[in-house]
Amino acid sequence: MHTEVSKESVLLLGDYRQSLTVARSLHRAGYRVMLGSADPRPVTAMSRYIAERWQHPPLSDSQAWQAAIRAFCSSRPDVRIIYPIGDLEIAASMPIASSLPALVVAVEERVFELCQHKRSLLELAARVGVATERWELVTEPSGLADAAERIGYPVAIKPDGGANEELGFKAVIANGPADLDRINAVSAFPPAGFIIQQFGNGPRHNVYFIARHGRLLGSGEIVTLRTDCPDGTGLSVEGLSVQPSPLLLEHTKALIAALEYTGAGCAQFLVDETTGDTCFLEINSRLGANCAAVCRCGLDLPKLFIEVLRGPIAPQPAAKTGHSYVWLLGDVEGLLDSRKRLSVSSVFWWIARSMMALLRAQDHITWDWRDPFPSIVMMKRLVSRMLRRTARSLGLGPPRHSRQILIDSRVTGLVRRISSSGDR
């Protein structure tokens, strides 16, 4: 039975890497943090900072999910804030946000919808004078080759509406017609089509920001040093906070002003380190998966997102620079997924860079020595996947893992016992 507490309760929706960052941030800020997920064994629930868990119907059943969250809010007046983490949870919450008694922590629906479509963002960038590489929208599979020839190889190919399970990627690089043939052979064509764009040189720079009514109130810039894909696309596994670039800051200000943006977000650019040329990629209108990195640099986006929706906030101090991070689990998974496409020397070089990054990094995404169990469970599950892959490759079938649920339940119990003792 629920016992009333004096703290304001926040319901997080979604079990993602950044869910841990949000839970830790809001606990420090004095909130009582709960987790809502359709998954019966969410990793975030292992955190000592999750006071309670609510298992809801799958988001794919929109009617059941909407009825469930309305009933939940009616029965829990202490839950004053609903914090959807991923795009799916945000999209599910927006149609009913105005009818819920709690504050839904998200940008305006028009901003969210625009940021979901690469074409709309690229058109916006052109209107406000932010540089992009040449691009075209292709709505039929037969149009990819012609568009690539007009733009010139290499090209980046991205679904206009974001990645989906059928497609399996957010972006892919094609160096020639053979690559396009392979993409057509293994990928479903997305409903909104592909954006095909001239490939930009240089590392990815993420400008994390907080804004209100189109005014920038705080930001931090992080450069991606390595990703989980050999071609530099994919998720960041190593990065460094850097001195904000005046040009990228001006671009970000122009974009959020045009959107009249209120909330937290991340503007992404490529920067050619030789020429200094920049190329706008997109805006993530939510907390990014690696937002822990900028939080540890002093820009506490999860907490600021709530505050800026409730009213004006003061401009924030500059984020700390020279702060490095790694994401070991993503690094290992990236190597496992890419190993068949890599030479032996490339595999060893990947491992060497991972080890060097691990030793010199000041922060490790998801890991916190005060809250270790989520990372331990994620590592355990990764090892289990590696063993199953190895067994399949040897023709031995999947290894026995009947004790999985028992082990997770014991870890959960241990977390609860530690959490009940309070913070130390």
Handedness of CA 266, 296, 200, 274 (dihedral sign): positive
Q: What angle, 0 to 180 degrees and rounded to 10, lies between the N-to-C axes of helices 17-28 and 301-310?
A: 70
> Residues 329, 332, 335, CA angle at the centre, nearest 5°?
150
Rounded to 10 degrees, the C-alpha dihedral 403/408/410/411 comes to 140
Low-confidence residues of the chain: pLDDT under 70:
1-6, 162-168, 186, 397-424
Question: What pLDDT, on a 0 to 100 scale, did the predictor assign at position 414?
Answer: 42
What is the tens place of the pLDDT at every residue in 370-399?
A: 999 999 999 998 888 888 877 777 777 555
What is the tens place of the pLDDT at every residue in 174-188?
A: 899 988 888 777 677
> Left, alpha or beta for 68 (phi > 0: left; psi -120 to 50: alpha)?
alpha
Query: pTM, whole model, 2 decimals?
Result: 0.88
Asked whether 264 and 305 are in contact (CB, 8 A), the reply is yes
Please give the domain boundaries of the chain with CATH numbers for all domains: 9-106 (3.40.50.720), 134-198 (3.30.1490.20), 204-322 (3.30.470.20), 328-420 (no CATH)
Half-sphere exposure (Cβ direction) of 57: Cα atoms closer than 13 Å: 14
CA 341 to chain centre: 25
Burial class from Cβ neighbours inside 10 Å (0-12, 13-18, 19+) for residue 81 reads: buried
What is the tens place of the pLDDT at every residue in 259-316?
A: 999 999 999 999 998 898 999 999 999 999 899 999 999 999 999 999 999 999 999 9
- Residue 149, token pair as written in the block: 């020839």
